[in-house]
Amino acid sequence: MTNQAYLERLRSLSNRLVALQKPIRILDAIKWPSELEAIFCAKGGRELPQLGADFYQNQRLAFDTEKVYQQLKELKTDVRRDLGRGDALGHILLATIDQYQIVIELLKARGTHQFGHFSKLLYGSAQDKIRGDRKTLREMGERLCHVFSLPAVEHLNRPYTNNISSEQAVSSLLWRMNDYFGNGEVRVEISDDIVSDASAGGDCIKINRRAVFSELDLQVLEVHEGWVHIGTTLNGRQQPWATWLSVGSPRITAIQEGMAVLMETLTFSSFPQRARRISDRVVAVDLAEQGADFCEVYRHFLDRGISEHDSYRVTQRVFRGGTLSGGSVFTKDISYVKGFVENVNFIRSAIQSGVPEIIPMLFVGKVTLDDLPLLYERYLEGVIAGPKYLPPMFRDLNGLYVWFGFSSSMGLMNIAKVQQHFSKLFQKMPVSVPLYPDKTDVELD
């Protein structure tokens, strides 16, 4: 088989997977009606949300599960035959197909105890350990929740208010997307179908018609949904042969969401309250995995001073698709903290190992960290196209190198003793006041 023949086969098999996965939409299949929140809160958060025993059965899927599962099975057979059992790119393709087969099992099990089993197979558990470390994700989440709840957070509370309508948000984000990607490459639209304030899919950002935003929110959406989620999709679509890199199975979720959170951090777009919400998600997953029901998880966050709205949102994200009594839940929300930590460790390790050139491959498409060495090798061979859309700090790695270089070196310090030294100094200060005491509105241009 000639090299060209191999590449043609690779593209044909990849295109088949892209087509088969198109109607498989996990979040659409497990979303809850928006009116449930008002009903739940009106009852004091003491009664489980009234979904109904046949709620998920009435949420019809957009595809025939048995038919698509069989087609995925046939595709696996063809990948092994046409690419060879030892083909490295074929292994990535097979792993991705496996994921979609598990996704189908997950969706068939909505509302049952089996749902949590398949969710853990796809996304992992809050009790998983961080790669290369002894800490669990729950322990990391608790630590971050503590950091982002310190009194200093209130001292940094900027006077940004939610005074940007959904229509204004669409206009602002469209301008930002055109500036980054070029005119007409990305759409930004009002939506009545999403539960979250905003979401990205393919080359489109959807904005919830009922949502209002702050300027900080728009900065987060620009880099999180735009630069990362849409950027990697469009880079995947640029692939001449490995076209499956344009679609995201759950195996790539942690790296995607972690990179999106990291990008918020590197661009100084995030803020402590948002980081706290992301950290809370890990805690919520663990509580629910351990058997806490919806009301118990909701009350946990309410008792920690979280608003009714945010307590409901973080709880609802975890229980959608599973059982309201706990134990069988949707574990995707561990991905943000898990992916952030693993991406940071990957970048630091690439720098320490003298291979920083592999770092931009994080944006080549929908990938996992384990995929990157092989994809970089195939990039050098001309099989994989380099990422077209790259955030500026990943296009010129000098600043990123220095940032992570300093951060790696400072990690060697004994932070407890350093804190002890400066605490004595701070004790001599007068009573401090918040930096931004006035909650004035932000004027829009």
CB 104 within 8 Å of CB 24: yes
Whether 274 is covered by a domain: the verdict is yes
Please name the residue that has the structure tokens 């393709």.
93
Q: pLDDT tens digits, residue range 297-344? A: 999 999 998 999 999 999 999 999 999 999 999 999 999 999 999 999
Query: pTM (2 decimals)?
Result: 0.91
Whether 10 is covered by a domain: the verdict is yes
Q: Which domain holds residue 13?
A: 3-160+214-396
How does DSSP assign 99-125, residue by residue?
A: HHHHHHHHHHTTTSTHHHHHHHHHH--
- The share of the chain scoring above pLDDT 70, in percent, equals 95
Whether 186 is covered by a domain: the verdict is no
Whether 83 is covered by a domain: the verdict is yes
SS3 218: helix
CA-CA distance, 367 to 373, in Å (whole number)? 11
Where is pLDDT greater, at 411 or 241? 241
Q: For the chain, how many structural domains are there in total?
A: 1
Where is pLDDT greater, at 284 or 154? 284
Whether 230 is covered by a domain: the verdict is yes
* Arithmetic mean of pLDDT, 95-110: 97
* Arithmetic mean of pLDDT, 27-50: 91
Task: Extract the runs of DSSP E, i.e. beta strands, from 318-376.
Answer: none
Task: Report residue 55 CA to chain centroid gap.
Answer: 26
Q: What is the pLDDT of residue 34?
A: 84
- Smallest CA-to-CA distance from 203 within 240, 235, 165 is with 235
Judged against a pLDDT cut of 90, whether residue 426 lies above it is answered with: no
Where is pLDDT greater, at 133 or 170? 170
Lowest mean pLDDT among 97-106, 340-349, 381-390, 423-432: 423-432
Q: What is the pLDDT of residue 362?
A: 97
- Smallest CA-to-CA distance from 262 within 394, 444, 159 is with 394
Whether 13 is covered by a domain: the verdict is yes
Other CB atoms within 10 A of residue 153 CB: 15
What distance, in Å, lies between the first and last C-alpha atoms of the chain? 60
* Arithmetic mean of pLDDT, 45-68: 92
CB 203 within 8 Å of CB 233: yes
Whether 23 is covered by a domain: the verdict is yes
Judged against a pLDDT cut of 90, whether residue 219 lies above it is answered with: yes
For residues 6, 10, 16, 17, the Cα torsion angle rounded to the nearest 10 degrees is: 150
* Arithmetic mean of pLDDT, 405-411: 77
Q: How far is CA 422 from CA 11, 92, 156, 418, 419, in A?
A: 59, 50, 20, 6, 5
Whether 285 is covered by a domain: the verdict is yes
Where is pLDDT greater, at 433 or 344? 344
CA angle in degrees (0–180, nearest 5) for 371-132-414: 130
Reported confidence tier of residue 87, pLDDT bands at 50, 70, 90: very high
For residues 363, 367, 372, 375, the Cα torsion angle rounded to the nearest 10 degrees is: -90
Judged against a pLDDT cut of 80, whether residue 160 lies above it is answered with: no
For residues 319, 311, 214, 32, the Cα torsion angle rounded to the nearest 10 degrees is: 30
